Amino acid sequence: MKKFDIPTYYRSPLIGAIKERRKMQDPRKKDFAPLALTAGEVTFVLPRHFGFCYGVENAIEVSYRAIAENPGKRLFLLSEMIHNPAVNEDLQRMGIQFILSTDGQQLIPWDTILPGDVVITPAFGTTVEIAQMLSQKGVDLETYDTTCPFVEKVWKRSAEIGQSGYTIVIHGKHKHEETRATFSHSQANAPSIIIRDLEEAQRLAGFIRGEYPAAGFAQAFHGKFSDNFDPTRDLQRIGVVNQTTMLATETQAIADYLKTIITAHFSDESRFIDTRDTLCYATNDNQTATLAARDFGADLALVVGGYNSSNTSQIATILEEAMPTYFIADESEMLSASEIRHCRYGQKDLLHTADWLPQGPLRVVVTSGASCPDVVLEAVMRKVLALKGVPEEVLEEAANWA
């Protein structure tokens, strides 16, 4: 796999060495068992896969190259590069301005963007409408386009589905940058609709079977379907694609459910098209590795990443099924051995939990999302040791034997 040129301060020599050792031991990625790293009375359970993925490293490399190659020019990102505050803040300090917020709010007016400006497309991609509008203004979007190839794969598959006469059902969060981009591309080829979860899939099934009046469709899926969508016409042949950072098992459950519904209703299995190949390999690997760490068992889990990171929230969702799980941005959220500040993702608010760190020997899963630098995860590990009174050098000793 390609080696990316990203700033060394995002990398952790300690975690990098552990990952490289595991890669040499398991080059085909067949072993998803976690690594148990014991440092004093603390055992860190490290999943087989975590941290930066291909798309994220590519986006960071291209962004820093854009900065280096364009001294004196105005530099813009269409939205956040990735969902990690540390990386985005670094880019802003270097002069990059964000045109849109993560939920699509305009931060810089389009009419102020000029042909000579440098505009970077984030890893999530962008909509057809934005790309066409900037192209008409003479703005170059190709030189620094960091759209993840796995997102582009979803767009390609959506086009194939749409051109074959199927309506496209997107499993995703309708305000997420990637989902907005995918929806824009898919509706250019076919009727499209976004559903968030199995509950919305069940609501959609009611319209497929004609149990709900078509007149109620617009209210039930407000802001989540393409123009002129007609539930009586456009729900007869469907295929499911996904926002690449969603929970893979949830996407599959939704696809399986809708296949059963539409096949039974029309007595025709060909009215549903199989689209499992749109699931991102990195998301799959991270989630599978997280499941293995969950089943390995621990006293608690620390999941590190940006609070608006979808893939990180899915990791937290998996772990919280089996143990107390704290979704934190970085080591500063561990206020003391008796208090931790963490994100309740569904509500996107911060909680303070007391007595979170057990006394005595501790086994803790530590992992991170695809947009979190390894150096942040290492800092979390070192903070845990400090709170438990374990000397930091014990971590290096343990890592050398991992």
Nearest to 316 by CA among 367, 350, 272, 280: 367
Q: Name the catalytic one among 57, 80, 178, 378.
A: 178
- 55 to 2, 88, 282, 378: CA distances (angstroms): 11, 15, 9, 22
Question: DSSP string covering 212-275, please?
Answer: S-GGGHHHHTTTSB-TT--HHHHTSSEEEEE-TTS-HHHHHHHHHHHHHHHHHHHT-GGGEE--
Known active-site residue 392: no
Residue 349, strand partner residues: 344
User: What's the rounded Cα separation, in Å, for the pair 120 and 108?
Assistant: 14
**Three-point CA angle 62, 125, 280, nearest 5°:** 95
Question: DSSP string covering 37-80, please?
Answer: EEETTEEEEE-SS-S--HHHHHHHHHHHHHHHH-TTS-EEESS-
- Exposure string of 283-308, with b = 16+ CB inside 10 Å and e = fewer, is bebbbbbbbbbbebebbbbbbbbbbb
User: What's the rounded Cα separation, in Å, for the pair 351 and 328?
Assistant: 10
- Amino acid identity for residue 16 in this structure: G
Active site residues: 178
